[in-house]
Structure 1
């Protein structure tokens, strides 16, 4: 059974990500964990009155969050039409990052799905600070970032961007290949050119990747060099009209630069489709 973690802040975009996850795994037995993490900032004062105030504020926040979470679970259970889908609410008094990290391990999670809003109302997802924190720190589980305005439906192609500078492991690619199989989509692998031609090591890594894709419908292509790699990926994603973009969360190469550049530059990286980040397996 697939185990999916769905963080929510009770917003529209979080609900959209939940719907997308349920749709994507429509034919797969799944246990969905809907997680809400919250914190109450203490007053910082040590008087008895302030401690009591903090306690009451925590209890009120906890109670309200539980009601909202219970409502979501009830709604999901009511509208669910897949007998093999189960739903469970998780309420944590902690930061989102801590709660996600802990539950990924405790619940043996296969995927994290999180929603994010588009910049200026456009049908895009931009890697704002919260999303980047999750991608950087949840490095032991695939993370799917879902644009709020993404129109849920069938698609024919999944994009995988690479620079052939990472030694691929079959276990790293398994979540992606599972999604290719589930959606019956073809895989389009693009090399983001940062050099005139592949060196010997890159050629070997490309062959290694090709071996893992044996038996699947796929194709390779090279994208011409472009100084702004993130912008080139964005253009390629838009040109292909695919339904998903995937990358490996390597600490080297262009992915690392995309998530570590200053925020102003990072906002330029956006896509209209869900963005799957695959963790590196040591």
Structure 2
């Protein structure tokens, strides 16, 4: 049974991510963990209020978190009639990044599904979304990012950007391959390139990728970068009417090194389709 973590702040955005996950894995046995991270203002927990008062505020926040999780569970059990799906709630007083990381380890999570509202202009520089914060620290588990306005219906076409400069470990690709096999999707291998021709290492890596995807429907595509890597990916996804983009989160990402832009973060802010971020395996 697949184990999926669903962080929630009870917003419409997080509900949309939950519903997307339920539809995406509708035919598969899944154990869904609903995680809420509650907070208490540092000022309210200050020593000046006294330990008793601070304890009351903490207890109230913890109770509120669990009560809302209980309502979510009640709603899902009543309205989501899928016998293969099991739900469990987790409430934590913790930083969101640490809470997700801990839960992934404790519950042996296979996939984290999170929503994102995105950001524009200066907000993308000065305000880091919760999802992007988690993306920065999570290196052991795939993360599926669901845009708030996205209404998931099917997974016919998936874009996989690459420059063929890294060797592909099949284990890194398993979450993507499993999802594609489940939906009988076509994967569009998108070569984001500045060079005109592949060198011998790139050719070898391309052939390795073919072997990993041998049981899938795949096609190769290439585009020269005229603006940014983020724009190149976004434009291709939109023009090809694709349903998802998948990226491997390398420590020193080829996408970032190519033009010195933090592509994972930028695409997470602006993507209009779900984005699957696969961890690099060492």
**TM above 0.5, one fold?**
yes
Partner of 1:68: 68
Q: How many residues align?
A: 274
Q: Residue in 2 aligned with 1:5?
A: 5
Partner of 1:239: 239
Note the residue ranges of structure 1 that are not aligned, 5 or more in a row.
Answer: 121-126
Unmatched 5+ residue regions in structure 2? 121-126
From the superposition, tell whether residues 187 and 226 of structure 1 become closer, same or farther in structure 2 (CA, over 3 Å): same
Q: Which residue of 1 aligns with 2:133?
A: 133
Structure 2 partner of 1:41: 41
Deviations 1:127-183 (A, max 9, x none): 944322211211100000100111220232111111112211111000000110111
State the alpha-carbon separation in 1 of the partners of residues 76 and 7 from structure 2: 14
How high is the TM-score relative to the length of structure 1?
Answer: 0.90
TM-score, normalisation: structure 2: 0.90
Distance 2:9 2:251 in 1: 29
Q: How does 1:1-282 map to 2 (within 5 A)?
A: 1-43=1-43, 45-47=46-48, 49-119=49-119, 128-256=128-256, 261=261, 266=266, 270-282=270-282
Q: Distance in 2 between matches of 1:59 and 1:156?
A: 47
Counterpart secondary structure, 1:204: helix
Q: Give the distance between the partners of 1:220 and 1:27, measured in 2 at CA.
A: 29
Indicate the SS of the match to 2:65: helix
Cα RMSD over matched residues? 2.3
Q: What displacement does 1:75 show?
A: 0.8
Following TM superposition, by how much is the alpha carbon of 1:224 offset from its aligned partner in structure 2, in angstroms?
1.7
Determine if contact 1:195/1:225 at 8 Å carries over to the other structure.
no
In structure 2, relative to structure 1, the CA distance for the partners of 1:156 and 1:266 (3 Å cut) is closer
Instruction: Note the C-alpha offset of 1:252.
Output: 2.5
CA distance in 1, matches of 2:237, 2:159: 7
